[in-house]
């Protein structure tokens, strides 16, 4: 390629050189080059590939026929380094190998797990001299490959990997690439255009002097300075025209007419050459053997492909055919009739079937179809299912949608449209998912399918829309499913009488399966009711769940007994949770507590939390069980148990690679760590969850993480951050009727006021939580904020409200047995007690918080209690007794970064007669969120490789961060790190 083809691209060349320099130095960078066809993107990318040494270069080019094939571009890009996948963490290795077709997936892969594996693989390939990935024609790259590459590019740090992308500027690509630095390739100016024209004129007799200035100006204006158009036009004009001695043709063969120029060039080729070019245009990958074989079956000469190369239309590289420019491929495609294209697709499908490439064969058979065909539709749907299993959900949605179009039977088409919606949602395309689901709903008649459609619709709404609407949809679907799929009184034992009658349902072989459909819908409804804070709905759900108990005498069945009237352990657990919650909210706290305790007793221990066996189905079920257990413990007033279960759910999800559900699981894990006094880790988890939620379009999960970040900022007295997080959370939560998230965000603002000594304002905000209805408030948050509400009320002088809040907590905690629950109650009782009784109650609370193995987890509560005890003792002129408690509180608050509370404790210490010096920064505060997440896992004994798997990083990035963590903390080993973080 001649250097003068890069005329006028000085800024772009400088940017490319800067990227290459950073990659060679070990940094990570990405750059997007945008422009119209012929703007010179490919030329610049080829320049970058030549200049990259000593960095390794991987390249791929998007092809329109392959744009719907999941991971097609990724396979092209990573094929030379696929052997390095063995060095990846287990879950990432298996996901990447499955995506590249090297191995069958053991279970359905999440698209972000594949992306994390791609990041790690690129980091491995970058050793030792760096790596540059060059991807051209990105507008045609399949969605699965695009998702994985962009996920990796956004996380390039110290891996020495770079990504250069060339793309046409379409709305889709601009949106997809919005987070990466980009340069738009404008048209060349007249000076640069003259250089391009002069290069194109070489060899044309009589043009030694170059083009005339007036001709340069005319052609620059006509082409918009497009380099390809200028170069091609120089070869189409005569020497007299270029020199300005003859008029230019009118119209000029430029701009949109370039395709016509190529079309004319193709039309002049022999028939069998045109035929083999059509095969190459439709085949997509440039497979020489496949193209020649298909051409020969169609009657083309074996030498036809070489004739096309001799004509300058294609280039034949080892085992690959490439068109000289995408516009040529487009011209070949446009010049062939529909019948000719269908014939080529048919032969390609036959050859690919013979070669065992089922997915590509299915696509070509679909292209060859002349109307609905169930056999072809089934093959295409199977290919879509396989793409989804590998994590290519967006491309799977495209194939499933296409299969639905080719399905002649309406019920089957409805199911495929429903599957399309699920895949589109998992692939990050909610609008497409909603459209497919609406189409499925129009066609569906089967009650079970209608229930599944309603459940999907509700899940979509619960993830990103109105939680109250999701609740309504789930409840309606559950009742319809029960009416249409369960026999009358299908096992009403164990609950209230059924409205459907009293017939014995034990004869039905499908009662168990139908019951599980209804139970799953009720569980979704309960989750939605929890988000909204609708206790009336929880009562209704509990009543319906109680009706689903199996008939008397029905045996407990195995977990996979889907079509029998048996009760699995999972069924019993979930029914106990839902029924117990309903009973609790109805006022039957004794009955509700009994059922909730029975469910909690069935939660497995944590022996296998760190066992990464890739059993995603079991892991998903275990994580769900733990989240329900956390909700049950909250109702029982046991925040410590709730925190323990929530943290475990996060660990299970991380280990198993459940990234699709991870933002939601991390909501609970982050809250759990905050409740366990791990403020810094809670922040890190919510930051990670927030990023994933935003990448996946889970607005409601984003609101949860924002609300938790607001509370953490309140604890630390970071007023601007707290208000920003809280207001952003409320902006999502209020219109979406997320009472739980709105209540947490409002609580954060009240806690901020309390910590900063604005007691009247804190009292007002915290009291408002108690009267906020569904969609704006939540009973669990009212319970969880009681201790702060009592303290604010006492400080504001409203002792009546303080006593009422204490009474409320005593009633709520009546069934709580944990030391922490009893300690918080004792602290509240002390706040409303006289000066004689209060110290004893506060000492009792401290003793309860010091019991068991939970001491670190109760650090924040202990410090708050010690501060109150020290204040009471100092006011009683017992300064000597007060100082140790105040000192412990100040030191703990400092360690947690709870600055306003530390200042209050330090002020009390000075008032008690002790001179205090401002403490230095807490060691953990010197770490970034990423460094803290890595340090925590390493301290738990997790290997660098498994840390990478859990945090979606490369192992080399983990090593890089550890090299920074050790000197920051003043340590040199993992043992010291574990000791410090304990």
* Other beta carbons within 10 Å of 773: 11
Model pLDDT, residue 263? 76
Can you list the residues of the chain whose pLDDT is less than 50?
A: 1-4, 255, 490-510, 559-562, 610-617
Q: Who's near 231: CB < 8 A, 6+ residues apart?
A: 5, 196, 197, 199, 200
Q: Who's near 161: CB < 8 A, 6+ residues apart?
A: 23, 28, 122, 123, 125, 126, 130, 131, 132, 133, 152
Q: Who's near 441: CB < 8 A, 6+ residues apart?
A: 450, 453, 457
Model pLDDT, residue 567? 62
What's the DSSP call for residue 300? -
Residue pair 534/773 in contact (Cβ under 8 Å)? The answer is no
Distance CA 589, CA 932 (A): 41
User: Taking the domain 928-981, which CATH number applies?
Assistant: 1.10.10.10
Q: Who's near 451: CB < 8 A, 6+ residues apart?
A: 477, 478, 480, 481, 485, 517, 518, 521
* Architecture of domain 3-184 in this structure: 3-Layer(aba) Sandwich (3.40)
What's the DSSP call for residue 487? P
What's the DSSP call for residue 253? S
pTM above 0.75? yes
What's the DSSP call for residue 553? T
Selection from 295, 306, 288 nearest residue 347 by Cα: 295
Q: At how many degrees (to 10) do helices 955-969 and 974-981 cross?
A: 70
Identify the sign of the CA torsion 921, 923, 927, 930: negative
Backbone angles phi, psi at 785, to 5 degrees: -100, 5
Bridge-partner residues for 777, per DSSP? Answer: 774
Query: What are the residue boundaries of the structural domains of the chain, listed by start?
Result: 3-184, 190-253, 269-368, 467-499+507-601, 785-920, 928-981
pLDDT tens, residue by residue, 908-966: 998 988 876 655 556 677 788 778 888 888 888 888 888 887 777 778 788 888 888 88
Q: What share of the chain is helix, strand, coil (3-state, %, to 5)?
A: 65, 5, 30
- Looking only at the bridges linking them, the beta strands covering 320-323 and 314-317 are antiparallel
What's the DSSP call for residue 607? T
Six-digit token string for 205 = 């007799």
For 67, 282, 288, the CA distances from 279, given in Å and listed in that order, are 17, 5, 10
Q: Cis before residue 54, ω within 30 degrees of 0?
A: yes
pLDDT tens, residue by residue, 691-740: 888 887 889 999 999 999 999 999 999 999 999 999 999 999 999 999 99
Six-digit token string for 188 = 């060349």
Distance CA 703, CA 275 (A): 56
Q: How would you write 83-145 as a 3-class SS string?
A: HHHHHCCHHHHHHHHHHCCCCCCCCCCCHHHHHHHHHHHHHHHCCCCCEEEEEECHHHCCHHH
Ordered strands of the 182-184 beta sheet: 56-61, 131-136, 161-167, 29-34, 182-184
First to last CA, the chain: 61
Six-digit token string for 221 = 């204006």
Backbone angles phi, psi at 252, to 5 degrees: -70, 145
Distance CA 767, CA 622 (A): 37
Q: Do domains 269-368 and 785-920 have the same CATH topology?
A: no
Coil, helix or strand for 33? strand
What's the DSSP call for residue 65? G
Model pLDDT, residue 140? 93
Distance CA 704, CA 630 (A): 16
Six-digit token string for 539 = 């009562």
* Architecture of domain 269-368 in this structure: Orthogonal Bundle (1.10)
Selection from 732, 709, 794, 729 nearest residue 760 by Cα: 794
Distance CA 240, CA 249 (A): 12
CATH H superfamily, domain 785-920: Tetratricopeptide repeat domain (1.25.40.10)
Model pLDDT, residue 722? 97
Q: How would you write 404-470 as a 3-class SS string?
A: HHCCCCHHHHHHHHHHHHHHHHHCCCHHHHHHHHHHHHHHCCCHHHHHHHHHHHHHHHHHHCCHHHH
For 114, 382, 426, the CA distances from 147, given in Å and listed in that order, are 9, 22, 12
Q: At how many degrees (to 10) do helices 111-125 and 955-969 cross?
A: 80
């Amino acid at each position: 390629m001649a250097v003068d083809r890069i005329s006028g691209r000085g800024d772009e060349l400088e940017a490319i050189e800067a990227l290459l320099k950073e990659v060679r130095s070990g940094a990570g960078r990405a750059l997007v080059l945008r422009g119209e066809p012929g703007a010179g993107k490919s030329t610049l990318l080829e320049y970058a590939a030549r200049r990259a040494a000593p960095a390794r270069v991987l390249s791929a080019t998007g092809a329109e026929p392959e744009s719907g094939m999941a991971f097609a571009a990724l396979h092209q890009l990573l094929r030379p380094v696929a052997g390095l996948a063995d060095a990846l963490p287990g879950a990432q290795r298996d996901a990447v190998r499955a995506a590249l077709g090297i191995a069958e997936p053991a279970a359905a892969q999440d698209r972000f797990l594949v992306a994390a594996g791609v990041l790690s693989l690129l980091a491995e390939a970058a050793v030792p001299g760096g790596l540059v990935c060059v991807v051209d024609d990105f507008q045609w790259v399949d969605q699965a490959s695009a998702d994985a590459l962009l996920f990796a590019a956004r996380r390039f740090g110290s891996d020495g990997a770079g990504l250069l992308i060339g793309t046409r500027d379409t709305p889709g690509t601009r949106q997809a690439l919005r987070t990466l630095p980009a340069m738009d390739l404008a048209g060349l100016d007249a000076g640069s255009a003259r250089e391009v024209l002069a290069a194109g004129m070489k060899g044309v007799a009589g043009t030694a002097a170059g083009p005339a200035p007036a001709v340069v100006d005319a052609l620059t204006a006509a082409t918009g300075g497009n380099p390809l158009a200028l170069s091609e036009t120089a070869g189409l004009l005569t020497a007299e025209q270029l020199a300005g001695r003859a008029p230019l043709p009118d119209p000029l063969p430029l701009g949109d007419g370039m395709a016509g120029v190529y079309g004319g060039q193709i039309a002049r080729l022999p028939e069998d050459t045109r035929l083999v070019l059509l095969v190459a245009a439709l085949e997509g990958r440039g497979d020489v053997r496949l193209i020649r074989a298909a051409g020969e079956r169609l009657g083309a000469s074996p030498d036809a492909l070489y004739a096309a190369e001799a004509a300058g239309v294609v280039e034949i590289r080892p085992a690959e055919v490439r068109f000289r420019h995408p516009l040529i491929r487009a011209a070949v495609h446009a010049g062939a009739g529909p019948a000719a294209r269908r014939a080529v697709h048919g032969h390609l499908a036959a050859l690919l079937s013979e070669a065992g490439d089922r997915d590509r064969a299915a696509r070509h058979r679909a292209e060859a179809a002349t109307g609905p065909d169930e056999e072809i539709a089934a093959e295409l749907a199977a290919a879509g299912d396989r793409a989804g299993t590998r994590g290519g959900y967006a491309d799977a949605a495209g194939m499933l949608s296409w299969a639905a179009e080719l399905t002649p039977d309406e019920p089957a088409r409805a199911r495929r449209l429903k599957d399309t919606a699920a895949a589109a949602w998992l692939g990050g395309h909610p609008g497409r998912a909603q459209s497919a689901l609406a189409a499925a709903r129009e066609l569906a008649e089967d009650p079970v399918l209608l229930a599944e459609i309603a459940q999907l619709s509700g899940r979509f709404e619960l993830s990103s829309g109105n939680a109250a609407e999701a609740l309504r949809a789930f409840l309606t679907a559950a009742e319809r499913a029960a009416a249409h799929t369960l026999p009358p009184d299908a096992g009403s034992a164990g609950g209230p009488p059924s409205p459907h009658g009293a017939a014995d349902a034990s004869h039905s072989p499908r009662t168990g399966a139908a019951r599980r459909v209804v139970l799953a819908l009720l569980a979704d409804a309960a989750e939605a009711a929890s988000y909204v804070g609708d206790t009336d709905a929880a009562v209704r759900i509990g009543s319906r769940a109680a009706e689903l108990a199996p008939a008397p005498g029905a045996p407990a069945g195995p977990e996979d007994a889907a079509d029998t009237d048996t009760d699995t352990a999972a069924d019993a657990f979930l029914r106990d949770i839902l029924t117990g919650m309903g009973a609790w909210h109805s006022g039957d706290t004794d009955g509700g507590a009994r059922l909730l305790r029975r469910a909690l007793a069935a939660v497995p221990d944590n022996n296998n939390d760190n066992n990464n066996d890739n059993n995603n189905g079991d892991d998903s079920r275990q994580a769900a069980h733990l989240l329900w257990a956390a909700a049950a413990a909250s109702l029982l007033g046991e925040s410590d148990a709730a925190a323990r279960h929530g943290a475990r759910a996060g660990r299970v999800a991380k280990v198993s690679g459940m990234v699709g559900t991870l933002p939601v699981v991390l909501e609970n894990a982050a809250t759990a760590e905050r409740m366990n006094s791990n403020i810094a880790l809670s922040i890190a988890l919510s930051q990670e969850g927030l990023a994933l939620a935003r990448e996946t379009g889970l607005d409601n999960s984003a609101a949860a993480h924002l609300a938790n970040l607001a509370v953490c900022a309140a604890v630390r007295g970071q007023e601007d951050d707290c208000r920003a997080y809280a207001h952003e959370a409320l902006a999502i939560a209020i219109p979406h009727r997320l009472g739980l998230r709105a209540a947490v965000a409002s609580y954060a603002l009240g806690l901020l006021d309390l910590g900063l000594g604005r007691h009247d304002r804190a009292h007002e905000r915290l009291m408002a939580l108690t009267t906020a209805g569904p969609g704006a408030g939540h009973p669990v948050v009212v319970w969880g904020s009681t201790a702060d509400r009592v303290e604010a009320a006492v400080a504001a002088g409203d002792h009546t409200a303080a006593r009422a809040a204490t009474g409320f907590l005593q009633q709520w905690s009546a069934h709580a047995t944990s030391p922490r629950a009893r300690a918080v109650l004792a602290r509240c009782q002390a706040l409303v007690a006289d000066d004689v009784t209060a110290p004893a109650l506060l000492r009792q609370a401290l003793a309860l918080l010091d019991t068991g193995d939970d001491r670190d987890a109760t650090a924040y509560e202990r410090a708050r209690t010690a501060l109150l005890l020290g204040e009471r003792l100092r006011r009683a002129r017992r300064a000597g007794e007060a100082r140790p408690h105040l000192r412990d509180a100040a030191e703990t608050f400092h360690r947690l970064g709870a600055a306003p509370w530390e200042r209050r404790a330090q002020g009390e210490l000075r008032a008690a007669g002790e001179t205090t010096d401002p403490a230095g920064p807490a060691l953990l505060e010197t770490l970034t969120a990423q460094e803290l997440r890595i340090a925590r896992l390493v301290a738990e004994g997790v290997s660098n490789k498994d840390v990478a798997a859990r945090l979606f990083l490369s192992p080399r990035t983990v090593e890089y961060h550890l090299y920074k963590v050790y000197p920051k903390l003043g340590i040199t080993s993992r043992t010291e790190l574990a000791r410090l973080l304990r």
